[in-house]
Chains A and B, each alone.
Chain A
Amino acid sequence: MSWQWFHRLGSPRWFYQKSSAWLPWLGAAALLLLTVGIVWGLGFAPEDAKQGNSYRIIYIHVPAAFLALAGYYIMAISGAIGLIWKMKLSFVVMRAAAPIGAVLTFVALFTGAVWGKPTWGTYWVWDARITSMLILFFLYLGVMALSGAFSREQSGDKASALLALVGTVNIPIIYKSVDWWFTLHQPATLKLTEASTIDPSMFYPLITMIAGFYLFYAWVLTLHTRALILQREWRTQWVRELMGTSSAARG
């Protein structure tokens, strides 16, 4: 009995119906936190002594980078749940998480480059963290490409879940090796490590932004999952009824 909730989670229909109730709250909370965080971070947080206003990009950059990494684990874990318990829903979540994570990784790389130009004088440096983010981006693209390559959906699900898991084993190794490689080829002119102690007046808006990004991620992931569920289950009775009633209500 106590496992009932877990088995229910496997049903796309149950998730679709339940998430309808969560969505407005999730979206409202995400937008509220993001608005507060952006206004606070961009408008009211003090200027940095050395970098001036350009540092403010961390309010986008850091949360995006956080979720780019967390998103990979969310994708891999839902893939693993799908492989182990043969849950339809978790494969859908995995597929939905891949493009979102790739976009966030790209945002992190892009904002980093934009910030790097005024601060370091160059858009791109083969720094350890930048390089491992780039490789993470490629890992995301690989999972997306593989999941789309199979004509049979279930095979694509399982294959990309396995690839995501192999990537998970590799991420710490890749990160460490790139780190090591960077210390070997250290150009010694740039330091990514900003002042490690960040002032509370800059820290609170950042925390707000990170929380906002997490909620935003959850919101977008739910929306994308719902869209994929409808796409996959379009033959089933409940989706037809849903579509039928909504179009009837409109007409």
Chain B
Amino acid sequence: MPGQGGARRAVRFSRLPGFLTLLRTEFILAARRRADIVNPLLFFVTVLAMMPLGIGPEPEMLARMAPGLIWVMALLATLLSQESLFRNDYEDGSLEQLALQSQPLYFPVLAKVLVHWLVTGLPLALLSPLLGMMLNLGAAGYWPLFVSLVLGTASLSLIGGVGAALTVALRRPGLLLALIIMPLYVPVLIFGTGTVQAALDGYSFGPQLAILGAILATAAALAPLASAGAIRISLEN
């Protein structure tokens, strides 16, 4: 068990198993709250189905707008699901227990964000080729859309985690969370749609994917630290 030995070295060696335990716990918790998994996906599909009704069913126009629409909807779906990221743990006090541990908060936060991504971002990415087909996206765009969403939604989950941690102590953070996080999503959105657009125009989309990967690497290193700091601030409230 993590941290039981008390000796500093034992704590360090037990960090990985501790992380796996955290992951498993988060998974079980996520599996027991099915609505939290299904609702963002339903939102994603429903709103995208509204789009042709709003802007018209012309295939050429839909094809032109498809990458942007799918990406913006993925962004909104991630954002909406983010509010509950730390909420339950905050309310039942387990977030406080995690913060009191001798281990840094970085790993519990990373575990939560990783599971959040696995149950929202990854399914969104898996669904995206189907929605691309419905919106008449060119076949050349399916693979880049999927890969860019896999990388991009992971960054979105990480960045959004900071916002979720900052607002967890507030009673109704929904709109505020969107207001503070949306501007930070801009680079991911630009390079995400850029990937698909480049592929559709017949260019190589490797550079855009590489930048998305770089954003993900930076976010994975820094965002959980910021979230951990934000959680400590929220717990003081």
CA distance A159 to B162 in the complex (A): 10
* In the complex, chain A residues whose CB is within 8 Å of the CB of B222: 169
B207-237 interface (Cβ within 8 A of A): 215, 222, 226, 229-230, 233-234, 236-237
A-B pairs with the 8 shortest C-beta distances? A142-B180, A177-B187, A155-B237, A138-B183, A158-B233, A181-B190, A177-B190, A135-B183
Question: 20 additional contacts, CB 8 Å, given A146-B180, A176-B187?
Answer: A135-B186, A138-B183, A145-B176, A149-B167, A149-B176, A150-B169, A152-B237, A154-B236, A155-B169, A158-B233, A159-B234, A163-B180, A167-B184, A170-B187, A173-B187, A173-B215, A177-B186, A177-B190, A177-B191, A180-B194
B169-183 interface (Cβ within 8 A of A): 169-170, 173, 176, 179-183
* In the complex, chain B residues whose CB is within 8 Å of the CB of A29: none
B113 within 8 A of A: no
* In the complex, chain B residues whose CB is within 8 Å of the CB of A249: none
Q: Is the CB–CB distance between A162 and B183 below 8 Å? A: no
Q: Is the CB–CB distance between B183 and A142 below 8 Å? A: yes
Residue-wise interface mask of A (71-85) relative to B, using a CB-CB cutoff of 8 A (1 in contact, 0 not): 000000000000000
Q: Is the CB–CB distance between B233 and A162 below 8 Å? A: yes
CA distance A138 to B215 in the complex (A): 21
Interface size in chain B (residues, C-beta < 8 A): 28
Q: Is the CB–CB distance between A159 and B166 below 8 Å? A: yes
B212–chain A nearest beta-carbon distance, Å: 11
Q: Is the CB–CB distance between B166 and A162 below 8 Å? A: yes
Contacts A/B (CB < 8 Å), 11 sampled: A138-B182, A143-B180, A149-B170, A150-B237, A159-B230, A162-B233, A163-B162, A169-B222, A177-B186, A178-B186, A181-B190
B78 within 8 A of A: no
A227 within 8 A of B: no
Residue of B nearest to A169 (CB): B222
CA distance A166 to B190 in the complex (A): 19
B128 within 8 A of A: no
CA distance A154 to B176 in the complex (A): 18
* In the complex, chain B residues whose CB is within 8 Å of the CB of A162: 162, 166, 226, 229-230, 233
B98–chain A nearest beta-carbon distance, Å: 18
* In the complex, chain A residues whose CB is within 8 Å of the CB of B176: 145-146, 149
* In the complex, chain B residues whose CB is within 8 Å of the CB of A167: 183-184
Q: Is the CB–CB distance between B233 and A155 below 8 Å? A: yes
Q: Is the CB–CB distance between B170 and A150 below 8 Å? A: yes
Tell me if B's interface is mostly helix, strand, loop or mixed. helix
B197 within 8 A of A: yes
Chain B positions within 8 Å of A, measured between CB atoms, are 162, 166-167, 169-170, 173, 176, 179-184, 186-187, 190-191, 194, 197, 215, 222, 226, 229-230, 233-234, 236-237
CA distance A154 to B191 in the complex (A): 37
* In the complex, chain B residues whose CB is within 8 Å of the CB of A135: 183, 186
Contact of A174 among B162, B169, B187 (CB under 8 A): B187
A169–chain B nearest beta-carbon distance, Å: 7
A141 within 8 A of B: yes
Contact of B184 among A151, A159, A166 (CB under 8 A): A166
Residue of A nearest to B215 (CB): A173
A204–chain B nearest beta-carbon distance, Å: 36
* In the complex, chain B residues whose CB is within 8 Å of the CB of A150: 169-170, 237
Residue of B nearest to A152 (CB): B237
A184 within 8 A of B: yes
Q: Is the CB–CB distance between B179 and A138 below 8 Å? A: yes
A33 within 8 A of B: no
A9–chain B nearest beta-carbon distance, Å: 23
* In the complex, chain A residues whose CB is within 8 Å of the CB of B226: 162, 165-166
Contact of B183 among A158, A174, A184 (CB under 8 A): A174
* In the complex, chain B residues whose CB is within 8 Å of the CB of A163: 162, 166, 180
A139 within 8 A of B: yes
For B229, B233, B234, the residue with the greatest tally of chain A CB atoms inside 10 Å of its CB is: B233
CA distance A25 to B87 in the complex (A): 51
Contact of A139 among B173, B183, B215, B234 (CB under 8 A): B183
Q: Is the CB–CB distance between A170 and B184 below 8 Å? A: yes
CA distance A155 to B167 in the complex (A): 11
* In the complex, chain A residues whose CB is within 8 Å of the CB of B230: 159, 162
CA distance A181 to B236 in the complex (A): 41
For A145, A154, A166, A184, the residue with the greatest tally of chain B CB atoms inside 10 Å of its CB is: A166
